[in-house]
Amino acid sequence: MNIRVRFAPSPTGYLHIGAARSALFNWLFARKVGGKFLLRIEDTDLQRSTDESVASIIEGLEWLGLHYDEEKVFQSDNAEKHRAAARKLVEEGKAYRDFTPKEQRADANVKQNIADRARAHAAEGIDHRSNPFRDLAKGESDRRAAAGEPFAIRLKVARDGSSRFTDIVYGEQERAYSEIEDLVLLRSDGHPLYNLSVVLDDIEMGITHVIRGQDHLTNTHKQILLYHAFGADVPQFAHLPLILAPNKAKLSKRKHGEVVSLTTYRDRGFVPDAFVNYLALLGWSPDTTRYPAQIVRDNQEVRPNLEPGTEIFSRQRLIEEFSLDRIHKSPAVFNFHENDPRHWTDDKALWMNAEYIRTMPLDELSPMVKDELRAEKLWREEYDDDESEWFVKVVDLIRQRFFTLKDFSSQGRAYFSEDFDLEEAAVRKNILKEPKLKELLPQLADRLDQVEPFTAANVEAALRVFAEESQQKAGLFINASRTMLTGQAVGPSMFDVFEIMGRERSVMRLRSQRPWNEF
RNA sequence: GGCGCAUUGGUGUAGUUGGUUAACACGCUGCCCUCUCAAGGCAGAGAUCACGGGUUCGAGUCCCGUAUGCGCUACCA
């Protein structure tokens, strides 16, 4: 069987992480089983759909590296087919025209309206199947339609019995038909509705596995009814647990803002593979029996496939390890702290990004750093040419303590530009607290100017000799130098910094009187 | 209101047919390393497995109930 899955976002805003995770799981599954991963834009809600949103979705997928197969489908292009299909159902007696005038309902309190209406109906003993047009004679219905009377088309759901299916994640699902209303397929203005469109498009696209958010779980029964009505094969369903906000509330674009937007992660310096890795662990986990920690089972050695305890999975490894039956059912909390810049998003995501930055191959990292420097106007063409070796060395040196790609242009700025800030706290702690440094640092500069060749080891030797002669601790000069050269109190081993900066810049910055002029 | 789904330390998760002190990752604390900060190494705090019953010699694991959260219930998607 040719396995075909799809990611079907509605373009009503930016791509949020829940949707991105759905896309990822579909993609992982497709790649794992050698199937096709398709993209369909569900833009049937014309009022809310925008081109910018479509662009942001495509950009997001591209950034994550989730390439879709075949041509993307716009659901709105199929509206005419969907209308025809609904009409056919009326002809076959599987659906009926509902001439009830359309109710106006305010979008804001739909939930409340539903509850109120349900209560009222229960009190009056009205079954939601008691639509007067459900059993209207076909001839009469045709006549009224021909006369131009507006109508919606509803599916005629069986009175007795129940619908059941097996969800790959949530297991056996059953729902009595009496709980399923005669759903509207076509609005009275002829507009096809979601449940009709998804089913028809999924049939046409040959979708075999529907992998999507748990919010669609109960509606699946309605959709299965439609598959039956159209005489089509019902696909397999796998519903994904929802991703919640820290207080276990629904993660919403409106309330939680940019932290849930995928583009935020790109713009704030995430490495795509790191974010993919993090996202994959939200609602899925690998089979730990393949970890060496539990390598022996039934006296049989199991393949030592993974480092003990690791959660770092390359894209390739993710594909190898992924399986739908290890997706779990309970919702995951996306743990971020709104007003804390250090923890603006989930700690684990941040840690994982840092882990990728400090361990990934330099030939993959360097281009990302290049993009970042370009964006901040710190890039020089020499870094691609004569100084390419130097550039990669700097990246390797400073990446060790960075969390995001942004850090290369902010904390790493002094390596690429003379225009960098001195941090006040660093200056006070490492320089101003020892007045003699005003005289001593230029002397140190003179001394280092003589070092030949200008290597870490030679600079270290010279500096230590100078410290001894001036009867100061080496640490005083080391820490002061760090602040003079980088503006900061923290950073890589100082002698490596000297070597990387080179004689000219090191000496010039040591002679600078900026700390005394600026503070 | 009805129906459905979920519930293991702060967060993500493991715990496959019920069986010794509930495991791992992130985060947190302390120590080591050290020119700083990270990284790394070591040690540690933190979970009466939502609650209440039941089945059993024995339950996080099975059954029932309750609570809480979430979802669906729309001529939204």
- Judge whether A32 counts as a catalytic residue: no
According to the model, what pLDDT value does residue A250 have?
Answer: 82
User: Would you say A38 and A4 are in contact if contact means Cβ atoms under 8 Å apart?
Assistant: yes
| CA/C1' separation A426–B41 (Å) | 29
| pLDDT tens, per residue, chain A with 519 residues | 799 999 999 998 889 999 999 999 999 999 999 999 999 999 988 788 899 999 999 999 999 999 999 999 999 999 999 999 999 999 999 999 999 988 776 667 788 888 888 888 878 777 767 888 999 999 999 999 999 999 999 999 998 889 999 999 999 898 999 889 999 999 999 999 999 999 999 999 999 999 999 999 999 999 999 999 999 999 999 999 999 988 888 887 778 888 999 999 999 999 999 999 999 999 999 986 654 433 333 333 333 445 667 899 999 999 999 999 999 999 999 998 877 888 899 999 999 999 999 999 999 999 999 999 999 999 999 999 999 999 999 999 999 999 999 999 999 999 999 999 999 999 999 999 999 999 999 999 999 999 999 999 999 999 999 999 999 999 999 999 999 999 999 999 999 999 999 999 999 999 999 999 998
Closest nucleotide to A198, Cα to C1' = B77
Which of A365, A355, A346, A361 is closest to A310 using CA atoms? A355
Closest nucleotide to A355, Cα to C1' = B39
The catalytic residue among A253, A255, A329, A377 is A253
| CA/C1' separation A467–B61 (Å) | 66
> Which residues, at least 6 apart from A38, have a Cβ–Cβ distance to it below 8 Å?
A4, A5, A6, A7, A68, A69, A70, A72, A73, A205, A207
Q: Which region, left, alpha or beta, applies to residue A298 given φ > 0 means left and ψ of -120 to 50 means alpha? A: left
ipTM: 0.94
| CA/C1' separation A246–B50 (Å) | 18
* Number of helical H runs and strand E runs in chain A: 22, 14
Element (H, E) at A29: helix A17-33
State residue A153 phi and psi, 5-degree precision: -110, 130
> Which residues, at least 6 apart from A111, have a Cβ–Cβ distance to it below 8 Å?
none
Nucleotides of B under 7 A from a protein CB: 1-8, 10-16, 23-27, 35-39, 69-77
Q: What is the dihedral sign for C-alpha A313, A314, A317, A322?
A: positive
**Residue with smallest Cα–C1' gap to B36:** A490
Element (H, E) at A296: strand A296-297
Scanning A163-213, the segments in alpha helix (DSSP H) are 194-204
The arrangement of strands across the sheet holding A184-186 comes to A95-98, A152-155, A184-186
Give the span between the Cα atoms of A422 and A405, in whole angstroms: 21
**Residue type (1 letter), A504:** E
According to the model, what pLDDT value does residue A341 have?
Answer: 83
> Which residues, at least 6 apart from A457, have a Cβ–Cβ distance to it below 8 Å?
A495
Whether omega before A304 lies within 30 degrees of 0, making that bond cis, reads no
Give the three-state DSSP class for A378. Answer: coil
| CA/C1' separation A22–B70 (Å) | 18
User: Would you say A445 and A510 are in contact if contact means Cβ atoms under 8 Å apart?
Assistant: yes
**Residue with smallest Cα–C1' gap to B39:** A400
State residue A137 phi and psi, 5-degree precision: -60, 140
According to the model, what pLDDT value does residue A298 have?
Answer: 33
**Residue type (1 letter), A398:** I
Q: At A215, list the tokens.
A: 């919010």
Q: Between the CA of residue A170 and those of A15, A178, A210, A251, what are the distances in Å?
A: 25, 22, 13, 21
